[in-house]
Amino acid sequence: MTVHVVGAGLAGLSCALAAADAGMSVVLHEAAGQAGGRCRSWVEPTLGVTIDNGTHMVVGGNHEVFRYLRRIGGTDGLIAGPAAFPMLDLESGRLWTASLGRLLPSVLASAWRMAPSQDAGITRRLGASRNFHRFWEPLALAVMNTPAEDASARVFRRVLARTLWRGQAASRPFLARNGLSETFVGPALAALAVAGVTVRLHHPLRRLQRSGRLVTALDFDDGAVVLGPSDAVVLAVPWAVARQLLPELPKLPASPIVNGHFRLAVAPAKRSSGDFIGLLGGTAQWLFVRGDVVSVTVSAAAALAERSVDEIGTVLWGDIAKALGLRQAPVAQRVIKEKRATLFHSPEVEALRPAAAFGDNLLLAGDWTATGLPCTLEGALTSGVGAARQLLRRNPA
Ligand SMILES: Cc1cc2nc3c(=O)[nH]c(=O)nc-3n(C[C@H](O)[C@H](O)[C@H](O)COP(=O)(O)OP(=O)(O)OC[C@H]3O[C@@H](n4cnc5c(N)ncnc54)[C@H](O)[C@@H]3O)c2cc1C
C-alpha cells in the first residue's frame, strides 16, 4: 500500500510522518520548491535577514503542536513569550498588562456566557464583558482572524476550553526561535527522510482521475501515477486548490493577514514591556522586536490588503514609531499580504467545512477541514494526524 500525500504544509508533513510511523509507504508531493506552505521562512533580500511569511504564535495548550515538535526533534525551536501580555493603546498612550490572574473573573464569566447553544458571533456572547474591547475583542481577532462580531463563538469557545480556561501553562504564548522553517519544517523533512518517506518538491498535482468514489490516478506534469487497489490519497492542499481538483467542494471565503517587517539602522532600546506588545487604537495589532527588525501583524485585514504595499508600509511604520517612540526611519521594509491566510470563520462558514473522509481511497486534510478549530497550526496538525489515523483504520497494518 502506498499513501500519496499531496501538499507539504503542516497538515501534509504531519500526515506523512504519522502514516510512515504506522508502517505505511508514503510519497509526499509538493507544488512549491519549499515545504511549509503558509508556515515558512526565507532570506528576504530587501532586508538581508530571514523572515517568516507571518509571525506565528502558538500556546501551551496546543497539544498537537507540542506532540509534533517532540516527534520531529524537540521543542527547542520555540521560545516562551511573556506570561502576561503588555498591551498599548496607541491613541491614549496607556500601557497595561493583560495577565490571566487579573483577568480571571472575566475569563470565568466567559466560560458561563459561552455555554454551548446555537452558534453566533463572539460579540453576541461576550460583548457585554467589562474587558471586551481591551481583551476579548483583540484576542478573538488574533485567534479567529475574523472580526469578533462575525466570528463563530462555538469555535472560539473550543479554543478557550483548551487554553485560557486551563490556566497559565496552557495560555502561555510561544514563538519560533529562529523562524518558522527552522522550527516546524526543516526538522520534519529530516524526520521524514529517516522514516523513508519520498518527498517530491516542484511536483504539483494537476488533476485527480476518478471513477465514482475511487481515485484511479494522479496527474502530474511528468505523467500519471496509477493507484493500486490498496493505495490511498490524502489531499492536504489549501482549500482553493482542493476546490479546483474537486469542484463539488463548497466555496469557502478567506480572511487575509498582513505582516510588515522593518529593519532599523540601530536596534531599538530594550523596553521594560518586552519584545512583544499587543497594540490597540491603530492599524497594527501585534508588534515583535527581534534585534534590529521590528515586525507587526494585522489580522482580518481584508480592507488593508487592498491597499498598495507602500501605503501599508507607511501606516504600519507610523504605529511602530509611536509604540516604540522611534525617530529613526527604517532602512528597509517588506510588507507581505497573505490574502488567503485563513478561512473567514463565521458560523455559516463553519457549517460548510468538509470532513476528512471524502472518497473510498481519498481523504482531505488541511486547516480548512472540519477540525472544529480555527485555521491554525494546531488545526492543520490535528487534521494531518487525523487523516493518518483514518488511513490506519481503513487499512490496519
Ligand atoms: C500570515 C499568517 C499568519 C498566521 N499566524 C498564525 C499563528 O499565529 N498561529 C497559528 O497557529 N497559525 C497561524 N497561521 C495559520 C497557519 O499558518 C496555517 O493554519 C497552517 O500553516 C496551514 O497548514 P496546511 O498544511 O493546512 O496548509 P498550507 O500551509 O497551505 O499547505 C498546503 C500545501 O499544499 C501545497 N500545494 C498547493 N497546491 C498543490 C498542488 N496542486 N500539488 C501539490 N501541492 C500543492 C502548497 O504549496 C502548500 O505547501 C497563520 C497563517 C498566515 C498566512
DSSP 182-220: IIIIHHHHHHHHHTT-EEESS--EEEEEEETTEEEEEEE
Ligand 1, residues at Cβ distance < 6 Å: 6-12, 29-32, 37-39, 53-54, 56-58, 204-205, 236-238, 241, 257, 259, 338, 341-342, 366-367, 375-380
Residue 8 CA to residue 29 CA, distance in Å, equals 7
The backbone torsions φ and ψ at residue 113, rounded to the nearest 5 degrees and listed phi first, read: -70, -25
Profile the chain (397 residues) by mean pLDDT over runs of 10 residues. 97 98 98 98 95 95 98 92 87 88 80 79 89 91 97 95 91 92 98 98 98 97 97 98 98 98 91 82 96 96 98 98 93 97 98 96 98 98 98 84
Supply the CATH classification number for the domain 254-343: 3.90.660.20
Residue 306 CA to residue 123 CA, distance in Å, equals 26
Measuring CA to CA, which residue among 341, 369, 393 is closest to residue 146?
341
Residue 26 CA to residue 32 CA, distance in Å, equals 19
CB atoms within 10 A of CB 104: 12
Residue 387 C-alpha cell reads as 487523516
pLDDT of 116 reads: 66
Task: Enumerate the domain spans of the chain.
Answer: 2-42+60-77+178-251+346-394, 99-170, 254-343
Q: In what order do the strands lie in the sheet with 214-220?
A: 205-211, 214-220, 223-226
pLDDT of 328 reads: 86
**Rounded alpha-carbon distances, angstroms, from residue 116 to 125, 140, 153, 374:** 11, 17, 9, 17
Beta strands 57-59; 286-290: pairing state: unpaired
Ligand 1 centroid distance, CA of 339 (Å) = 12
List 224's β-bridge partners, or say none. Answer: 219
Ligand 1 centroid distance, CA of 375 (Å) = 9
Ligand 1 centroid distance, CA of 25 (Å) = 24
Residue 344 CA to residue 358 CA, distance in Å, equals 22
- Fold match, 2-42+60-77+178-251+346-394 / 254-343: no
pLDDT of 397 reads: 64
Radius of gyration for the chain, computed over Cα atoms and rounded to the nearest angstrom: 21
| pTM reported for the whole predicted model | 0.96
- 2-42+60-77+178-251+346-394 topology per CATH: FAD/NAD(P)-binding domain (3.50.50)
Residue 206 CA: nearest ligand 1 atom is 41
pLDDT of 109 reads: 82
Rounded to 10 deg, the angle between the 10-21 and 377-394 helix axes is: 30
Ligand 1 centroid distance, CA of 119 (Å) = 26
